[in-house]
Structure 1
Amino acid sequence: NISVTSADTIDNVISKINSSDLGVSAFKDKIFNGTEYVETIAFSSKATGAGGSIQAADTATADFMSGQLGFSLDADNKLTAYKEGTNAKVTINGFEMEKLSNNFTVNGVTYSLKNTTTATGPVTTSVATDVDGIYNKIKEFVDKYNTLVDSLNEKLQETKYRDYTPLTSDQKEAMSDKEVELWEEKAKSGLLRNDSSISAGTNQLRTDFYSQVNSNGESYQLTQFGITTSSAYLKRGHLEIDEDKLKAKIAEDPQSVANLFTSGSSDSNYSDKGIMKRISETLRSTVKSIESKAGNSTMGTSDYLIGKNLNSISTEITDMQDRLNTIENRYYKKFSAMDSAIQKMNEQASYLSQLLVQ
């Protein structure tokens, strides 16, 4: 809806219509009616093709369009003076069809009509698989996956230096900045060694890649497409591509390549999901598992395991400090009482000494 007041000019009204979501656009111009130039407002539907019409939504709008803007409306509040749009007529491979828009898709090919064949002559199109383009996309994906899995494997196998414990404030003051940096680098090494969340995630990623994918009655295996795992033990899950074999498969049957990576949906059975959907779910679950342990920037310390442990340790420290303060106060009282007793004994000894002298 738009709001029009008595203070609005015609130009204001047109501007409001054009910036709204009413489904129409408006313009004002002077049109020659055979005798003179008359200032005219025209509406144009944003819908394409034949059968479109412009209609007032309610009585108030109809009254404004007829009374204030001068449009003629029929009994259904539709404009009576209009020029109907036409559908795009196109013939593809001898089959004639009509389309509501100049942009449409037939058999997986998207067409954009720019002119008529009366002006340009018949148009010939050909479609071929972009083998290099598809290959480069797959290679880019595999390279990024390898970077991720190599990084995770490095963390899982990183050496842990147990003799390098976290430094205290006094220890840091006694060391140079470089010494502190090198020490803390050793102290942090191996913190994620054999971490259960990361280890489970990397194992599942390997399963996601090498498990059979079922789509449209066919079964696909990654090795059929020239993608295999590295034989190096330390590069567990690292992928390698046989370029010639993969390109040949893309040229021969590009749909099978698409099925391998993208088939299925989030609701499909695991075996019916493509590799991309599988690893997307695995990465999300791995992140959640890590967050349940280490948290994230939006979580409170009581929402994840390490935070809960820190809170527990902090509470224990506070309780221990309270106990130490209690013990300290008790000893202070005892020492104070002992000092008082010694003072009294000294006074009594002094008094007795004076009596003996007399």
Structure 2
Amino acid sequence: MATSGITTGIASGINIKDIVDASVAAEKAPKQNQITKVSSQATTKLTALGTLKSAISNFQTALATLNSPSSFLARTASSSNTTALTADSSVSAVAGSYKIEVSQLASNSKVALAAVAGGSTAKFNEGTLQIDVGGTEALNVTVDSTNNTLAGIRDAINKQGAGAGLTATIVTDSQGSRLVINSNKTGDGKDITVTGNSAAGSDNSLGDLTFPGPTLTAPDANDYGTTDEYNAAKADYDTAVAKAGKTLSSSQSAKLTIDGLSVVSDSNTITDAIDGVSLNLKAKTTADTPLTLTIAEDTGTVKSNVQKFVDSYNTLIGVISAQTKVTPVTNSSPVVGALVGDATARTLLSGVRNELVAPQSGGTFSALAELGITTQADGTLKLDSDKLDKAVAKDFSGISDYFTGDSGLASRLTAKLDPFTKSNGVIEQRTTILQKTIKDNDAAQVSLNARMTALSTRLYAQYTAMDSLISKLNTTSSSLASTLASLPGVVKSS
């Protein structure tokens, strides 16, 4: 609020600022109190409605989960030996148990090509390096002046081989540096073979990288005239064997038996052996000691979903209770909830409670109490886990019938809740009205502040003019007194 620089009248001596501030405050107070009250009430209700909508949404989420038939059809798969096998099951899996023995895991092919001197910078003549997996060409690498080193060939394999599941690294051992090629293909007959072809030149031949290389025959002592000749030939043979390419791992299929029936798979993940079950092989089992795989109804998830239903309902009841109750306070005004007397909360609560107690016909269970869910004195629900366990054991599908479907409890409750949370629903309309109230109230505040600023400016001008008038009157008075004192015949007092 704008104010004058003058605080005390020079001629009058009065405190102009205090008088103006008090006058403006007295004028502003009634309207300001009204604006403040409206703003506080609207903001409080807006916050309360937001909290209520959040609680309703959480309850709706719990109902949606409970209303999913697939959650009641879910199956669990438990292995007695998770080190050797784990499993996942779908809704199509049939409850039962299986004896499984894993005798072999599926593996991939990995080979180390012949060792060469010179490390990663060892150079080769230009040509091609063809890599086959299971006898079928998987990759054909062109070697030219841009990549004719061991490192260059490695990089070319990694760049071109991603789609074929091939990778290459360089490993240096006591014989030299080798290209180690790995395939991600598992199963019998998917071994790696390499064929190198290059033009003549002064560098290493790509043919030296062919795998498997030429067959090496150990020397026979009978073919040599002296022991030294034989030893020399044997040393050359041993060196050739050491430098030759090597199979680091061979491709093979997984082998197992399920209840005595043989199963062979190219992968350690088997999805077609047991209907609706995916087997994940981890290790071999001990011979003649099969593990047990048990497929069962997933009662744990259903019980958890029922508990979430109870918890989210209780949260909703807690929010409604807190926002609609009046709390007495000794020697003071009571604390009143933001939604006391509010039709929105009252209608919502009434509709939900009516559905909870409405009996349901046509199934094994007709009321929540039969599932161990009862209403407490404060309106919240309580779940008796033991009673729910008995209900699950009695008729698992009957619980599904009670909660799911168009006439199930979850659908009926959702129908009562949707009008409050949907787009342009009850809460959104109430929120829009309150937001407009706050906006209008803010505009009223701006208008009030402008009027008070104008009033303050006007009062300062008036009091300043008054002080100026007093100053002029004082000057006139002094001048008149001086004139009268100087007139002839005027008797001065002693």
When you count strand as a share of all residues, which structure comes out higher?
2
When you count helix as a share of all residues, which structure comes out higher?
1
TM-score normalized with structure 1 length: 0.49
Structure number with bigger Rg: 2
TM-score normalized with structure 2 length: 0.39
